Chain A
Amino acid sequence: MRPLLEVENLRVEIPGRRGTLVAVDGISFEIGEGEVLGVVGESGAGKSLTGAAVIGLLDPPCRIAGGEVRFDGRRIDDLPYEQLRRIRGRHIGMVFQDPQTSLNPLYTVGRQLTETILTHGDLSHGAARKRAVELLHEVGIPAAERRIDQYPHEFSGGMRQRVVIALALCANPRLIIADEPTTALDVSIQAQIIALLKRLCRDHGAAVMLVTHDMGVIAETADRVAVMYAGRIVEVGPVAEVVRRAKHPYTIGLMGSIPLVGYDVQTLTQIDGTMPRLDAIPAGCAFNPRCPQAFARCRQQRPELAPVERTDAACWLFRDGGRRHD
């Protein structure tokens, strides 16, 4: 079966006065029907830009400089704006980090919902409003009939995020791109929103690309996870494999640096140094200066993703017998 979303060799550039920076450097992945793909990485790894590039919402001067994005077998990255907009609203829903800024403060929640429903479907105004109430009800907003006529500021942070999710679901999209949907929320609300996202994907059969820096959220929600570092995917595989038996040294370091409740350690695993700036990405494997296992080849040649047991990792340790040829 063909995957719902295919991204091939995607490259995002940021042209600037001092030259062009490559923020996303030739990444490829796919998301199947009804699948949740988690994308993790630290700030600046390029995960949000990847999400934005997929739906054609890159803010200038960022631009797609190469590669292909195919949705349901059809190439969408080169479509004219108007056509892409139609696909985006109809088939791809979006949830952003900050529910404050994703809603228009001047319109009632109901108006924003019905407007979206009317744009992407052929319902009468009354039916659209009924559908809006249903959606609010579905995302767990109590007294939806009354609250539909309220303005965004009358909702709390968690409730606002629910409205944003309802908005994303308006047109029954087949793919939802959620960029840090729980980051601005408290833990108890975060748990509610994760449970909601999971239930909605199951009920609607929608695929989700979940971009976050929180490994815990990924472990709870995702089927597969892609780990990004300096604009590249360094490891991708089933979530249980990546969490428990990570292969790439960066993933191992990342997992070890997360403190866990009930797990006593004196010191956390520490990846020394910081992620390189985009204008100073080292040659070879971008992780080599921080990698405890780097050898000569890592400093010269860039590794590509290739299968290692049950995950795919971009690391020379697993190619041609690792450091034996060193």
Chain B
Amino acid sequence: MTERQAVAREEVALPLVEVEDLSKIFDVSPPLLNRLLQGQGRALLTAVDHVSFRIPRGTTFSLVGESGCGKSTVARLVVGLHRPSGGRVLFDGCDMAAVTARADTARLRKRLQMIFQDPYASLNPRWRVADIVAEPIRAHRLLEDRQAIAARVGELLQQVGLSPADGTKFPHEFSGGQRQRISIARALASNPEFLVCDEPTSALDVSVQAQILNLMKRLQRELGLTYLFISHDLAVVYHISDFVGVMYLGRLVEWGEARALFRRPRHPYTRMLLDAIPDLEMTGRPRTPVAGEVPSPIAPPSGCHFHPRCPFADERCRRETPRPLATATGEVSCHAVEENRLPPVERAPRPPGTES
């Protein structure tokens, strides 16, 4: 008994997903003919640049960053929609790229599912909802009997807050939020342990977003799911995450426990992002204005990619790529943090704002 408990505890402590030194380089060269005739060279875009993080079982790890920072590419690499150019993704201790046998791939695939941003594009408009939700069950041959499948679909629809009778309808009969519920039901159909959610609420209105976030949290509690959550909305990320990673131009510049990272952001980019959130409390706090925009990922700045926008950059930042340094709950890659050049920032937790 005690031995089994110890084993169970060890299993909990083991991360479900480990991303090690993951890189993805896209070839965005002009066509061969243009290269030959106009003497244009090859162009490579490093979308993901040596990213490493771990997701403990039953927790939510979020990646945040601005458009083009590579967060969606990481999501696609993790579920195996792209092949990594370097590094590897370990799922439950097994290297996803090393699994090649068809039967093994299928077994692995059914344990992880993805929810996409646009619920209008990710559901086949010609299929009835019941068929959409049943597709993973049929594809993985989880149930053979038609009645059993129908019963399971009804159960899944109920789990996400729809009615089993909705199964006979088509996607166009549903609103954006309800469609996202259908996507979630479909993702849950193969009993996965791990869900990759790429901006699942970005296309939704805030009151509908609250419904979906509450649903996702409830499902996590009930089914012990692990989430990789991709978003650009820091407030949503704060609400849903246990761990947060901040990406900038393909690199993970800082990651750590969510509450700690939001209270004491270390990297200047994280600080800038947090400062940029519109302030609903209207405290009139002073902001550090950050000039400039994200540079092109095809020709990123040398050294630390953030140096042209960073108020604390010096010669070393322009020259040398910073290495990850361990922090209390994660890692940060910044020369200024290493040399202790940054003024400390303590963001006081806000008092509950809206009086009701």
Contact = CB atoms under 8 A, between A and B. Distances in A.
A271 B211 CA distance: 8
A158 B293 CA distance: 8
Contacts of A270: 207, 210-211, 214
Interface stretch (B44-52, B151-159, B184-192, B279-287): B279-287
B279 A219 contact: yes
Contacts of B278: 190-191, 194, 214, 216-217, 219-220
A227 B40 CA distance: 54
A141 B355 CA distance: 41
A241 B276 CA distance: 23
Given A43-B205, A188-B66, A261-B277, A266 B282 contact: no
Interface string A252-274: 11111111111111111111101
A274 B273 CA distance: 32
A187 interface: yes
B235 A259 contact: yes
Contact of A274 (B177, B276, B279): B177
A267 B293 contact: no
Given A270-B210, A274-B177, A187 B239 contact: no
Interface in B251-277: 259, 262-263, 272-277
B345 interface: no
Given A191-B278, A192-B289, A214-B278, A259 B236 contact: yes
A26 B354 CA distance: 30
Given A158-B293, A187-B273, A213-B205, A255 B354 contact: yes
Contact of B293 (A156, A244, A246): A156
Given A188-B276, A259-B238, A269-B210, A195 B293 contact: no
B296 to A, nearest CB: 9
Interface in A269-304: 269-272, 274
B83 interface: no
A42 B207 contact: yes
Contact of B209 (A190, A244, A257): A257
Contacts of A194: 278
Contacts of A268: 210, 213-214, 239
A288 to B, nearest CB: 16
B274 A267 contact: no
A76 interface: no
Which of A243, A254, A259, A265 has the most chain B CB atoms closer than 10 A to its own CB?
A259
Contacts of B291: 192
A260 B289 contact: no
A187 B277 contact: yes
A260 B350 contact: yes
Contact of B352 (A253, A259, A263): A263
B262 A246 contact: no
Interface string A213-232: 11111011000000000000
Contacts of B356: 252, 256
Interface residues of B, number: 52
B276 A261 contact: no
Contacts of A217: 278
Contacts of A195: 287, 289
Contact of B350 (A239, A245, A263): A263
B289 A262 contact: no
B347 interface: yes
A304 B347 CA distance: 42
A259 B350 CA distance: 13
A213 B208 CA distance: 12
Interface in B189-236: 205-211, 213-214, 217-218, 232, 234-236
B67 interface: yes
A240 interface: yes
Contacts of B347: 262
A239 B277 CA distance: 18
Nearest to B67: A186
Given A187-B234, A188-B66, A216 B209 contact: no
A259 B241 CA distance: 12
B239 A259 contact: yes
Interface of B: 66-67, 175, 177-178, 205-211, 213-214, 217-218, 232, 234-236, 238-240, 259, 262-263, 272-282, 287, 289-291, 293-294, 347-350, 352-356
18 contacts: A156-B293, A186-B67, A188-B66, A195-B287, A220-B279, A243-B280, A255-B354, A257-B207, A258-B206, A258-B210, A258-B235, A259-B210, A259-B213, A259-B240, A261-B262, A262-B347, A269-B210, A272-B211
